[in-house]
């Protein structure tokens, strides 16, 4: 009995996305709203997609050419359908770090990102920056919108309904292949 076991199927959910869009950030010193291009990327891992809600962590960076980049670490709550590459939503809530703008745009903003996942890894992310957990004033006010592609939701994590249109030959959470018995 000690040598017989069944393989564990606790495959974590993973995310790896990149994209771009636009941002609008308020300068707390001049009270002017600055806009710029936004280039973002995110990587994260979560619990297995076996329950309706998946909980995980996500590291995101949003670069604003001409300004700087925000770096954030967030908790992610995602629908199971999102995690397997179908239509679904993910919500990220965390704190960002902003080393640009001489604190005129805040330094440690709270950041929330709502991501609408579409089939085959496409997604639309809408993020908001507010307040500041540091003692610096002025507070952060702004946000971004970006079209992204999640490379893992497109490839290895895609096990949902889209596999009827385009099969996934090696899904990450597939049961292991049976090994032939050794005579």
CATH of the domain at 65: 2.40.160
* Residue 35 placed within a domain: yes
Q: What is the extent of the structural domain holding 138?
A: 13-161
Q: Bridge-partner residues for 24, per DSSP?
A: 35, 143
Which helix (H) or strand (E) segment is 146 a member of?
Answer: strand 140-150
> CB–CB of 130/93 below 8 Å?
no
Residue 138 has pLDDT above 90, yes or no: no
Please give the structure tokens belonging to residue 16.
Answer: 């790896």
Tell me, yes or no, whether 5 lies in a domain. no
Residue 73 resides in a domain: yes
State mean pLDDT over 149-176. Answer: 85
Number of domain units in the chain? 1
Look at residue 166 and tell me if it is in a domain: no
Task: Say yes or no to pLDDT of 91 above 90.
Answer: yes
What does the CA dihedral 31, 64, 113, 30 come to, rounded to 10 degrees?
A: -10
Of residues 132 and 57, which shows the higher confidence score? 57
Does the structure show a pLDDT above 70 at 165? yes
Confidence tier at 170 by pLDDT (50, 70, 90): confident
pLDDT value of position 171: 85
Per-residue confidence (pLDDT) for residue 4, from 0 to 100: 62
In a domain, 167, yes or no: no
Taking 60 as the threshold, does the pLDDT of residue 179 lie above it?
Answer: no
Q: Which two tokens stand for residue 173?
A: 């959470």
105 φ, ψ (degrees, to nearest 5)? -110, 15
What percent of the chain has a predicted confidence (pLDDT) above 90? 65
In sequence order, what are the residues at sequence separation of 6 or more whose Cβ sits closer than 8 angstroms to the Cβ of residue 131?
106, 109, 110, 139, 140
Q: Establish if 28 belongs to a structural domain.
A: yes
Strand partners, 148: 19, 123
Would residue 176 count as lying in a domain?
no
- pLDDT of residue 178 exceeding 90, the answer is no
Residue among 10, 96, 18 nearest 54 (CA): 10
Mean pLDDT calculated for residue range 171-183? 60
Within a domain: 137? yes
User: For the whole prediction, is pTM greater than 0.85?
Assistant: yes
Cα(180)–Cα(79) distance, integer angstroms: 37
Closest CA to 37 of 52, 54, 50, 19: 19
């Amino acid at each position: 009995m000690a040598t017989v076991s069944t393989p564990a199927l606790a495959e974590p959910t993973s995310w790896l996305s990149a994209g771009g869009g636009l941002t609008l950030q308020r300068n707390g010193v001049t009270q002017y709203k600055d806009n710029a291009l936004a280039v973002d990327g995110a990587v994260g891992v979560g619990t297995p997609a076996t329950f309706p809600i998946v909980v995980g962590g996500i590291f995101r960076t949003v670069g604003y050419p001409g300004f700087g980049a925000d770096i954030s670490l967030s908790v992610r709550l995602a629908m199971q359908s999102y995690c397997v590459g179908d239509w679904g939503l993910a919500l990220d809530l965390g704190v960002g770090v902003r080393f640009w703008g001489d604190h005129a745009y805040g330094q440690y903003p709270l950041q929330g990102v709502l991501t609408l996942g579409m089939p085959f890894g496409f997604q639309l992310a809408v993020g908001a920056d507010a307040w500041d957990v540091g003692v610096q004033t002025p507070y952060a006010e702004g946000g971004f919108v970006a079209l992204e592609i999640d490379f893992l939701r497109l490839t290895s994590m895609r096990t949902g309904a889209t596999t009827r249109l385009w099969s996934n030959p090696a899904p990450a959470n597939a049961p292991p292949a049976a090994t032939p018995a050794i005579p």
